[in-house]
Amino acid sequence: MTKTVPVVENILGANERLAQTNRARLDETKTFAVNFMASPGAGKTSLILRTMEALKAKYRLAGVDGDVATTIDADRMAAAGIPAVQINTGGSCHLDAVMLQGALPQVALEDTDVLVIENVGNLICPANFPLGAHLNILIASVPEGADKPYKYPNMYRGVQAVILNKTDLLPYFDFDMDYFHRGVEALNPGLAFFPLSAKTGEGLDAWLSWLTARIDAYLTPGT
Amino acid sequence: MHELPFVESILKITLEHAEKANARRVLALDLLVGQMASIVDDSVQFYWDILSKDTIAEGAELRFKRIPAVYRCWDCGHQYQLDGEHLECPQCGSLRVQLVQGDEFRLESIDIE
């Protein structure tokens, strides 16, 4: 006999539960985790390195780098003097909470104030797989075009800030800043927005002071 | 591509519930998929056929119920379905809008025998 069994379960519930476990693990050692997401070529690694360079005098940093293959990005972090763990996803297009859980024991969390996570370059999948980070940051870039918020709405909905990188290229592209920003606003009203150039450093200060304020609020609450 | 881990999760949840209900076979699954969930039905079906092989859910029918994205305008209260890339309120043009449905991705029920 056929019968219907009600289930009503969120299909990604397992990942979300594990993300909470990761968060709890990070909170035990008071390690503030920032998850950077972007499409391939948006300048994730360059901006992350510049950001780490600016933060490393003040905080103890570590990095986790997600890529389909190779250790190029982790090597670049290590070359900058930041302890880095590479996660090779073996073909998967995003990091998920399980992969981060596997990487955390390789990070000296007790000696880390800020853990920088570089997700796999992709604008679709990372949005569906929270990792347990305290901040999720999306890096967009001028050459990608201003229509990206409209085409990848999920990515823009789950983040706490959007960075628009490569503003030094604005004179060479028909990038409609107003159209871009209106798309971001509709998906995530009031979202922190930082147009900047990781190459020239223009706009970097606003981003760094916003980030620093969040890190400080976490590490030393009530000050 | 990213449907693979979703389907692994769907299969796991299905088999857990089927086992609890002492099912011999799973005949069908009812899935609720919001327009904003970026899930492609055909892709889910493709991985399902591969992953469900040699389980009691092999060959089960996947029934997709699509939920359109609906926004509500904070300024004039108008509710509307998302039309292409036009996020702004069609009534007053405001961009102070909020998604009220359309990001669901749930397994609602399974048919077993």
Would you kindly state where each structural domain of chain A is located, as residue ranges? 13-216
Residue B29's pLDDT band (boundaries 50, 70, 90)? very high
Residue A13's pLDDT band (boundaries 50, 70, 90)? confident
Q: Is residue B13 part of a domain?
A: yes
Q: Is B9 on the interface with A (CB under 8 A)?
A: yes
Neighbours of A103 (CB within 10 A): 20
Establish how many alpha carbons lie within 13 A of residue A133's alpha carbon, considering only the half-sphere containing its beta carbon. Answer: 29
CA-nearest residue of chain A to B84? Answer: A150
Question: Has residue B1 got a pLDDT over 60?
Answer: no
Give the domain extent around B52: 3-68+102-112
Please write down the HEC assignment for all residues of A38-71. ECCCCCHHHHHHHHHHHHCCCCCEEEEEEECCCC
pLDDT score, position B83? 73
The nearest CA of chain B is from the CA of A50 a distance in Å of: 31
CA-nearest residue of chain B to A126? Answer: B2
Mean predicted confidence (pLDDT) in B19-37 = 93
Question: Has residue A127 got a pLDDT over 70?
Answer: yes
Q: Is B6 on the interface with A (CB under 8 A)?
A: yes
Q: Is residue B94 part of a domain?
A: no
Q: Is residue B39 part of a domain?
A: yes
Q: Is residue B26 part of a domain?
A: yes
Higher-confidence position of A161 and B87: A161
A→B interface, C-beta within 8 Å? 1-15, 92-94, 96, 124-125, 127-129, 147, 150-151, 153-154, 157, 182-183, 185-187, 189
ipTM: 0.80
Reduced to 3 states (helix: H, G, I; strand: E, B; else coil), residue B20 is helix
Of B10, B12, B95, Cβ closest to residue A185: B95
- Neighbouring residues of A171: CB distance < 8 A, sequence distance ≥ 6: none
List, as one string, the DSSP characters of A82-151: --EEEEE-TT-SS--HHHHHHHGGGS-GGG-SEEEEE--S-SSGGGG-----SEEEEEEEGGG-TTHHHH
Neighbours of A70 (CB within 10 A): 11
CATH, residue B57: 3.30.2320.50
User: In this predicted model, what pLDDT tens digit does every residue of A174-196 receive, in sequence order?
Assistant: 999 999 998 898 888 889 999 99
User: In this predicted model, what pLDDT tens digit does every residue of A73-99 receive, in sequence order?
Assistant: 888 888 888 999 998 887 778 888 888
CA-to-CA distance for B84 and A151, rounded, in angstroms?
Answer: 9
The pTM of the full predicted model, rounded to 2 decimals, is: 0.85
Q: Is residue B90 part of a domain?
A: no
pLDDT score, position A1? 81
Domain count, chain B: 1
Q: Is residue B96 part of a domain?
A: no
Q: Which of B36, B72, B95 has the highest number of chain A CBs within 10 A, making it the mutation to test binding with A?
A: B95
Paired residues of B37 in beta bridges: none
Residue A171's pLDDT band (boundaries 50, 70, 90)? very high
Distance from chain centroid for Cα B92? 31
CATH 3.40.50.300 correct for A13-216: yes
